[in-house]
Structure 1
């Protein structure tokens, strides 16, 4: 039997961890390959991990054909939906699959004609409203992946800016999606160095970047309440009791962090000056 492995389709399958691979291998050795592998002509579209283990140990397997596809895009969409329905797929991989589905769906949508702004003539029907393509918004992609819109945004950033080593780290679960999107803002060589340092260094790098961003944000000025010119100044107006709303907890912490950083810099400067004076006294003694 000539079974073809398409690398593009195989990329949709999340690699098994060592423990997952060992568990599947034990199951196949003990019980055989109970579920049939799914083919599209000669191309394997479901059962890549089972096929590899069966080939390695000479375990017999069955195959079935899915003849409902007309193109490779149909196969891709079927595989994506198949994997999105599985609970074992990681959040990152679900986001990647949902974004890929959006690309395929968008490429298959015919270009909608621009709506005619002119009024229809008497007796003519008005042109139907343009139908919005499926999965055209980040919210729709997030629903398909069972993630938040913010997570989809972070995965998009990882795909665009992350070094391959960082992508592999988030795929393997070494670093979270949120932290990986933050580390992806570093130059590629610094990303690679952080990945080489392991989980602890990756978390530390993400933490330092967030702290630097927080410190660089200027504190927000309190909003001045609106005063109506038509209101008589009796002194009992509700706006007179509070001239400005107090800063939020986040703003207060940011201000404290900026103040502490300035204080640390000042202490380091004083420490350097003291060390220089000590050195001069030692040389003079």
Structure 2
């Protein structure tokens, strides 16, 4: 049995299994063995903590995949662990953002290191020098990595003059955009999730995590209760959350009624038995109207059916993202 090391910081990056998930995993390992390899870096587990614990507890053998030469330092390992979770687990956008935010410190450190070592960036035919530590964001204020507002001050060195300057021109790393890229979300979403994690009561975080409310609604509630005392904050959060539940229940009820109506119409159409003979009888015994009027009415009905068909085709294209 391999004796592997556990780095608690690495382990804490991975969302814990629910009791039910862990029980199912243990049953599977006991029945079929450990089918997935434990992945390590320098003999430290970076993927497979739960499998390792279950295997060692039950004396079940397992294979190890080493990635000793894939990473230069702990920070690269952390990024890999988080990205690996995105690929393997069905987690919400909120959870993806929370995981990515755990890399904020290392990315901010990288930004500082770039400034201190004079990292360079080449964009087309220009070198751009930015203010120390400044970060740009489309929807949040320009701040440096310490949260201090930046003055707008960019100096551009043209292609003709760039050789007159030191080519080691420092450039900033936009922390929020880097985190957003890792999580696969907008940097505005990262900004909102960070605010929720810092300031919202646990009940709001859980609701956002489980997709009970949207990130935007969770953020709005967080802003609304921000200046309240802790006890009052929690009480107000629950009140606002209940309002959201009621609104969502009403919306679901409306959607159900619409769905029921559509289903009834479709069912009614499907059970119709109309053939050429019945159409002939209809034309013969219906109120006397010119044939052209019947044809016009049929054309209008066909047009409405085509419109309904397009609605259903668009519904089929919708991908539900949790």
- The TM-score range, normalised by the shorter chain, is 0.5 to 0.7
Q: Does structure 1 residue 60 correspond to structure 2 residue 69?
A: no
Return the alpha-carbon distance in structure 1 between the equivalents of residues 234 and 17 of structure 2: 23
Tell me which residue corresponds to 2:8: 7
Question: Offset at 1:117?
Answer: 8.2
Question: Offset at 1:105?
Answer: 2.6
Give deviations 1:190-245, integer Å, cap 9, x for gaps. Answer: 454578x6xxx56226689xxxxxxxxxxxxxxxxxxxxxxxxxxxxxxxxxxxxx
Return the alpha-carbon distance in structure 1 between the equivalents of residues 9 and 206 of structure 2: 17
Structure 2: gaps (5+ residues): 119-128, 131-154, 247-322
Aligned length: 203
SS of 2:88's partner is: coil
Q: Please, which of 185, 194, 219 is the counterpart of residue 156 of structure 1?
A: 194
How do 1:12-161 residues align onto structure 2 when only pairs under 5 Å count?
12-68=13-69, 69-109=71-111, 110-111=114-115, 124-128=163-167, 130=169, 132-134=171-173, 136=174, 138-161=176-199
1:183/1:191 contact within 8 Å kept: no
Return the alpha-carbon distance in structure 2 between the equivalents of residues 6 and 176 of structure 1: 34
1:194/1:202 contact within 8 Å kept: yes
Question: Offset at 1:161?
Answer: 0.8
Q: Does structure 1 residue 203 correspond to structure 2 residue 241?
A: yes
Return the alpha-carbon distance in structure 2 between the equivalents of residues 144 and 104 of structure 1: 13
Return the alpha-carbon distance in structure 1 between the equivalents of residues 157 and 187 of structure 2: 38
Tell me which residue corresponds to 1:226: none
How do 1:183-198 residues align onto structure 2 when only pairs under 5 Å count?
183-185=221-223, 186=225, 187=228, 188-193=230-235
Structure 1: gaps (5+ residues): 209-285
Return the alpha-carbon distance in structure 1 between the equivalents of residues 7 and 207 of structure 2: 24
Tell me which residue corresponds to 1:238: none
Question: Offset at 1:143?
Answer: 3.6
Return the alpha-carbon distance in structure 2 between the equivalents of residues 49 and 169 of structure 1: 26
Return the alpha-carbon distance in structure 1 between the equivalents of residues 161 and 172 of structure 2: 31
TM-score (norm 2): 0.51
Return the alpha-carbon distance in structure 2 between the equivalents of residues 117 and 148 of structure 1: 28
